[in-house]
Amino acid sequence: MSEDCAWNPDWWREAKAASLERKRREKVSTLAQPGDAFLIVTEGTVTEPIYFDLILQDLQLSVVRVKVQPGDASDPRHVIRTAEREAKDQIRKAKKGVLGITEPPKFDHVWAVVDTDVAVRNGFWNNVQQLAAARKVKLAYSTPCFEFWLLLHVSGFTTRTDLVNGEAAKRAVRDALGTEYSTNEEVAREVMPRFIPKWPEAVVHAERVHRYHHDAGTAPPANPSTELYHLIRAMNDSALKHLQKLNS
């Protein structure tokens, strides 16, 4: 054993942590490649589609290769089933030769953007996770809801404990903006562009929230928290290199 190791009994833990961090970064950097095709199905029918359409514009991603649409109903399980059906339909259309010339024959990444508040409160969140794994749909979930992700754009890092449900999170966004915020389409289209310049910062804040709960041993899904940064990072990595705004 080296002299350094003799004086540091926890050297192996530090080495293991460094190795895991390297593997995490490698996994993130290979999650998506420029030109990958995405299917993103959202639980919300207004706010989330508008937000993601603006992200596509900001990264100059093709709207043909990145398809954003709301799910069949405001229930994470329906969103997952919609994502699975749309992904399979894409493959079937490709086999029949009925896709547009710029449309991908399949989606490389299939995501469901969902909230956890109702599923956790009604005791079926575990079923949501199991269904997503069985249907090969990745979950980009937020607790209590999508508005916590938006809050990280305008308030910075926070683990405030008063976001007990979706309504509380929406009020927090409204207060942080200092202006009207709602899921009304007219209001959403007016206010949503204010978030877009700060999405790279929101990714960093969300990762920090994730580490905070991990270190604290908080049982998932931690309130508040969001896993949306995984999807946003993947979208960033799928853009052309000179248009990417995040390092891997």
More confident residue, 68 or 73: 68
Residue 60 domain flag: yes
Q: pLDDT for 123-174, tens place per residue? A: 999 999 999 999 999 999 999 999 999 999 999 999 999 999 999 999 999 9
Structural domain total, the chain: 1
98 lies in some domain: yes
Classify residue 10: in a domain, yes or no.
no
The per-residue pLDDT for range 208-238, each reduced to its tens digit, is 999 999 999 999 999 999 999 999 999 999 9
Please report whether residue 11 resides in a domain: no
Q: Supply the pTM of this predicted model.
A: 0.86
With respect to residue 20, please indicate whether it lies within any of the assigned structural domains: no
| Residue 214 counted as domain residue | yes
Q: Mean pLDDT over residues 112-117, rounded?
A: 96
With helix as H, strand as E and coil as C, how does the chain read?
Answer: CCHHHHHCCCHHHHHHHHHHHHHHHHHHHCCCCCCCCEEEEECCCCHHHHHHHHHHHHHCCCCCCEEEEECCCCCHHHHHHHHHHHHHHHHHHHHHCCCCCCCCCCCCEEEEEEECHHHHHCCCHHHHHHHHHHHCCEEEEEECCHHHHHHHHHHCCCCCCCCCCHHHHHHHHHHHHCCCCCCCHHHHHHHHHHCHHHHHHHHHHHHHHHHHHHHHCCCCCCCCEECHHHHHHHHHHHCCHHHCCCCC
Residue 21 has pLDDT above 50, yes or no: no
**For residue 118, is it within any domain?**
yes
198 is in which domain, residue-wise?
34-243
pLDDT (tens digit per residue) in 191-207 = 999 999 999 999 999 99
